[in-house]
Chain A
């Protein structure tokens, strides 16, 4: 396992890339504007692509370059483009009735990061540098998952729910890049195409909702119609 031989330069590169992607998750959590969510998601995907490339370079997995290119292409360009199209078609600019104010969700997100850190810290008690990188990756993976769940829970606009799902997935992907960099190429490609299908399906669903229900906010979709 290459993490056993990581040096301090590699550790700092990995940790800064991962920490900045965590920060972008908070941008999504704290902003009012739907457009900002998409931009933050795109930048986050580019950072994760850079992380894959860095891991591929330092650990000597050439197939990770392919993963990095595919990540940048699909998550960094195609998905944000599709989301932007959905946004312009929907004509919603901001989340109006979120269940939590942005500031309280930021503080809640900070608490979730601490919780993730406690969980990750319980898994490893060595003080080696490699152990620290593992804890860092686990913390950031878990906190991005928690924040994705939080976004799914407190937002009710359909687009922000897709983004919550995508953040959740980005977190798992980021963690897997650092923790198990040798994951077979095929699985990664399958995941990427799955995401594309998820977003396409959501786009269809959103169009359906607009036509038949007149709204895309889950707040108003709570009445059963038989």
Chain B
């Protein structure tokens, strides 16, 4: 039995929506385990969301409509991106050519942009600081992202993530070419920066270190739940892109039967387990960088992307 395209499309989004808190829970749990403490259950993010959705929402007096609409914009943006990328099926679904890789990147950034505006809008001091820091990071990270996208499209001669996935599946020599390996390194740097991990983001929640958390400090109740869920989904989406388009293109459902969908969800979780373990190693061995050294890991990422483009022209 092969599911219809509409069902497959809904399944892609639903998978991101429902499994994103699980990934966050696993990373938090494993980090605590590495430090020899017990840690929260891996289902704790679900309980947090449930709790927040049942709380009252308090809105600052100075806030305008931007403050109220930002969580919804961010959440919706994260619901749109899974349509464009290979989450469960490796064949392009009908709506997946709505946007190419640049379009997906733009929608991802649109979500963060809405939250940055809301951080400024709330009138809180920390919100302003968080927004300005987040903008600085975005300015540093964006050139690398663009170069990674250019590099992968030079490799695949196409701008659609599905084509890249097929190319990597098809030929091992492209997979092991220096250009592709450098792109993996460059995207991994971006992954650490964009999903609030060390060496830039702090794992302890002190106001002075906060970047992404500071922007949403004023939120409470269901709006906060939406924002948290959106950030977990962003993490899940970036992991999906990293695994299915760059690092491990195998194990996706090709026909689109229910069993295949289940299997590719399972393999997705396995792949995330691997990537999350690497991320946890980085978080454990790295200390947080000073504010004026943020550009160093990002310059390294930029360098990897440039080297990838140069070597994709070579071989």
Give A contacts to B, CB under 8 Å: 8, 11-12, 15-16, 19, 22-23, 26, 30, 101-104, 106-107, 109-111, 113-114, 117, 121, 132, 135-136, 139
Contact = CB atoms under 8 A, between A and B. Distances in A.
Given A11-B315, A15-B314, A136-B315, A113 B296 contact: no
Contact of A19 (B173, B300, B311): B311
B257 interface: no
B314 A136 contact: yes
A73 B80 CA distance: 58
Mostly, the A contact residues are helix
A107 B293 CA distance: 14
Contact of A106 (B177, B293, B299, B310): B299
21 contacts: A8-B173, A11-B315, A12-B176, A12-B177, A15-B178, A19-B178, A22-B307, A30-B303, A102-B299, A103-B299, A106-B299, A106-B300, A110-B302, A110-B306, A111-B306, A113-B310, A117-B314, A132-B315, A136-B311, A136-B315, A139-B310
A132 B307 contact: no
Contacts of A103: 293, 295-296, 298-299
Contact of A114 (B293, B295, B306, B314): B306
Nearest to B310: A117
A132 B314 contact: yes
A22 B181 CA distance: 14
A30 B303 CA distance: 11
Q: Looking at chain B, what size class is its interface with the partner chain?
A: 10 to 19
Given A16-B178, A102-B296, A109 B303 contact: yes
B5 interface: no
A23 B303 CA distance: 10
B313 interface: yes
A22 B313 CA distance: 16
Contacts of B296: 30, 102-103, 106
Contacts of A139: 310, 314
Nearest to A104: B299
A135 B299 contact: no
Nearest to A22: B307
Contacts of A107: 299, 302-303
Residue of A22, A26, A103, A139 with most chain B CB atoms under a 10 A cut-off: A103
Contacts of B315: 11-12, 15, 132, 136
Contact of A117 (B173, B299, B313): B313
Residue of B173, B176, B295, B315 with most chain A CB atoms under a 10 A cut-off: B315
A10 B315 CA distance: 12
